[in-house]
A and B are shown apart, each in its own frame.
Chain A
Amino acid sequence: MHANAKGFVAFALVPAFFFLGAFYVYPFVFNLDISATDLDIFQLRDGGRWIGLENYIELLTSPGFRRVMFNTVIWLTVVGVTVRIVLGLALAFLLDSRTIRAWRLSTLTRILLIVPWATPPVVAIVVWRWILDPRVGAANQFLMWLGFIDQPIPFLADANWVWPSIILIITWNTLPLVTLTFMASLQSLPGELVEAAEIDGASRTQLLRYIYLPHLKPAIIVMAMMSTFWTFNNFIYVWLTTGAGPGTFTNVMATEIYIKGFIDGRLGYSAAAGVVMAMIMTAFGMIYLRYVAARALVEEEDR
């Protein structure tokens, strides 16, 4: 490589890696160090006492940790991501259908579809907390007006309703991105392929199974992976909707770390929970790297 080019690469990468090193790597290593101490918020400056793996042992054997893992993995990740992928696919097929195109509604539906995505999560949470409010919320008023219920449901305080409600809020806020990505993938499918299959007498199920789904597969995998790390890592959806409640019923990894560190002031213990979370996410990150990120550079080299 040209000396000039070497100089540019250094100039271009040093600032980016300064931020990454100073923000991700250094604090993470520091976090490892804190996780082996009993540091609390009142002795910030002196540092805590070295207690080895005690925080980790306490964390992994605590009864609350099981629920935290269950909530994070099953509710947020498995249910949350599946709902988004399935509804995203359904909506993409709907908005890309011949009817919508025949009525020339594509542009309008696309613009309207953007709205939830452009709504900042904090606002989404505020407005949904109002909609789901038992006293003044529209959801209860509407259901009572329809005659489905005769008592308002406290959606965010009732153990039966609280997780579906959180999933509803996350889905509402993030569905447009998933749908638009699937629509982009559908539009890159050559029309002749579908027409040829139709002429050959393929049924709708066959079209879906042998043409649409194989074509959409890369988009589905990418969106499933991105949604997974976006929700697994997310803090505010659960924290600002229920505050991990009722009780600790909706506590997840992110809220557990926050509560232990900033409410209870046990920074050492919170750091240990953070290390466990980072390990889970790194394992997942490796899969993501292999599938998505590697492609970004590899496709570049093919040219």
Chain B
Amino acid sequence: MNRTPSASVQFATLAVTAFALAFLIYPTAWVFIASLKTPDTMFSATRWSMTLENYTRLFAAGFGHNVLNSLVLCIGAVLLSTFVSVNAAYAFSRFRFRGRGTLFATVMLGQTFPWIILVTPVFILFARAGMLNNWGSMLFVYVAISIPFSVYLLVGYLRAVPRSLDEAAIMDGASYFQVVWRIVFPIMFPGIVATATYAFLLCWSEYLFSVALLTQEEMKTMPLALYIYFGENVTDWGNVMAGSALTTLPTLLLFLPLQRYMVSGLAAGSVKQ
């Protein structure tokens, strides 16, 4: 039985849906549109005049450098954090060992821990060690902030990988390391990519640690640069919108194909099987 609602209910549902989605999409869509508008038509809903000038001006001001900083740092952090988290999640998921529950709880508590508290001590420790404005320390911070959530998600995805597969490989004489990276990794690849995407977004939009630990102009990441353009006395909206569009584009491209996996990972603890 699959009753179709009456015409008026259908019309009301479609109208409310269209309104809700328009509200959800408008701000992001506007970023992309405004980034292409000339300064004199920027705030007009009716007059249009398109240009790429905002982008050329942004890059002339050195934004390319910030893009590169963010890209290198985030890709590095995602690769390292994924490697560490996949191994840890596999250990938690497949082995019984002393202290397993406590250790797993410690990882999970990392998710609820407010990072703002760590900024002061981390800043002091790095300042004393002469590690401010240092890529190594930023990489360390980004790997550390993404581990708790990544391990939680990966343990969820690992449940869908049949144990018989890895047990058979062990019988055939494979080492555990080989099992993780040759057998389990390809099977749960979509889940790993979804996890890596979360880690990437975390790092890509991170503001708090970078504002405290990166003070040198040439080391700043995209979110910092964006806020510098934004914070000037007279905001150059063309610049800000072009920078915002460039910051959003990679995450949008990553999220669209992956949303199904990302939601299923997050919902793992909440949807009854």
Task: Please indicate the chain A residues that have their CB under 8 angstroms from the CB of B177 in the complex.
Answer: 8, 11
Q: Give which listed residue, A9, A97, A253, A270, contacts B13 with CB less than 8 A.
A: A97
Interface of B is mostly: helix
Interface range on chain A (Cβ under 8 Å from partner) = 35 or more
Q: Given that A9-B97, A11-B177, A28-B118 are known contacts, is A126 also in contact with B10, CB under 8 Å in the complex?
A: no
Q: Is A281 an interface residue (CB 8 A)?
A: yes
A281 to B112, CA, bound (A): 7
Q: Is the pair A223, B96 in contact by a Cβ cutoff of 8 Å? A: no
Q: Is A30 an interface residue (CB 8 A)?
A: yes
Q: Given that A19-B140, A119-B251, A300-B159 are known contacts, is A277 also in contact with B109, CB under 8 Å in the complex?
A: no
Q: Is the pair A222, B269 in contact by a Cβ cutoff of 8 Å? A: yes
- Complex interface residues of chain B between 104 and 119 (CB less than 8 A to chain A): 104-119
Task: Please indicate the chain A residues that have their CB under 8 angstroms from the CB of B108 in the complex.
Answer: 285, 288-289, 292-293, 296
Q: Give which listed residue, A122, A141, A270, contacts B223 with CB less than 8 A.
A: A122
Chain B residue nearest to A20 in the complex (CB):
B110
Q: Is the pair A296, B269 in contact by a Cβ cutoff of 8 Å? A: yes
- Complex interface residues of chain B between 97 and 139 (CB less than 8 A to chain A): 97, 100-101, 103-122, 124-125, 127-128
Task: Please indicate the chain B residues that have their CB under 8 angstroms from the CB of A161 in the complex.
Answer: none
Question: Within the complex, what minimum Cβ distance (angstroms) separates B84 from chain A?
Answer: 5
Q: Given that A8-B177, A100-B13 are known contacts, is A222 also in contact with B27, CB under 8 Å in the complex?
A: no
A180 to B226, CA, bound (A): 29
A121 to B127, CA, bound (A): 28
A111 to B263, CA, bound (A): 13
Q: Is B60 an interface residue (CB 8 A)?
A: no
Task: Please indicate the chain A residues that have their CB under 8 angstroms from the CB of B270 in the complex.
Answer: 181, 185, 218-219, 221-223, 292
Q: Give which listed residue, B24, B113, B256, contacts A116 with CB less than 8 A.
A: B24
Q: Give which listed residue, B113, B223, B247, B267, contacts A185 with CB less than 8 A.
A: B267
A285 to B106, CA, bound (A): 10
Q: Is the pair B95, A5 in contact by a Cβ cutoff of 8 Å? A: yes
Q: Give which listed residue, A8, A23, A110, A126, contacts B144 with CB less than 8 A.
A: A23
Q: Tell me the number of A-to-B contacts counted with CB atoms below 8 Å.
A: 329
A288 to B149, CA, bound (A): 14
Task: Please indicate the chain A residues that have their CB under 8 angstroms from the CB of B29 in the complex.
Answer: 115
Q: Is A144 an interface residue (CB 8 A)?
A: no
Q: Is A6 an interface residue (CB 8 A)?
A: yes
Q: Is A147 an interface residue (CB 8 A)?
A: no
Q: Is B88 an interface residue (CB 8 A)?
A: yes
Q: Is B9 an interface residue (CB 8 A)?
A: yes
Q: Is the pair A30, B121 in contact by a Cβ cutoff of 8 Å? A: yes
B2, B93, B109: most-surrounded residue (chain A CB, <10 A): B109
Q: Is the pair B2, A120 in contact by a Cβ cutoff of 8 Å? A: no
**What 0/1 pattern do residues 262 to 299 of A give for CB contact below 8 A with B?**
10000100110011011001101100110011111101
Task: Please indicate the chain A residues that have their CB under 8 angstroms from the CB of B272 in the complex.
Answer: 188, 215, 218
* Tally of chain B residues near chain A (CB < 8 A): 108
- Complex interface residues of chain A between 158 and 202 (CB less than 8 A to chain B): 172, 175-177, 180-181, 183-185, 188, 195, 198-199
Q: Is the pair A112, B256 in contact by a Cβ cutoff of 8 Å? A: no
Interchain Cβ contacts under 8 Å between A and B, 16 examples: A19-B147, A31-B120, A99-B9, A114-B255, A118-B201, A118-B254, A119-B31, A122-B247, A126-B31, A127-B28, A175-B24, A236-B207, A236-B208, A257-B120, A281-B114, A284-B112
Beyond contacts A114-B255, A188-B273, A285-B108: 19 other A-B pairs, Cβ-Cβ < 8 A, are A1-B96, A1-B97, A9-B91, A99-B13, A102-B10, A103-B14, A111-B256, A111-B259, A113-B21, A175-B24, A198-B1, A233-B114, A233-B115, A262-B212, A274-B120, A281-B114, A288-B108, A293-B269, A294-B105
For the complex of A and B, the 8 pairs showing the least CB-CB separation, nearest first, are A23-B144, A120-B205, A293-B108, A274-B117, A118-B255, A222-B270, A12-B87, A285-B112
On B, residues with C-beta under 8 Å from A are: 1-5, 9-10, 13-14, 16-17, 20-21, 23-25, 27-31, 42-43, 45, 84-85, 87-88, 90-93, 95-97, 100-101, 103-122, 124-125, 127-128, 140-141, 143-145, 147-148, 151-152, 155-156, 159, 163, 175-177, 201, 204-205, 207-208, 212, 223, 226-227, 230, 237, 240, 244, 247-248, 251-252, 254-256, 259, 263-264, 266-273
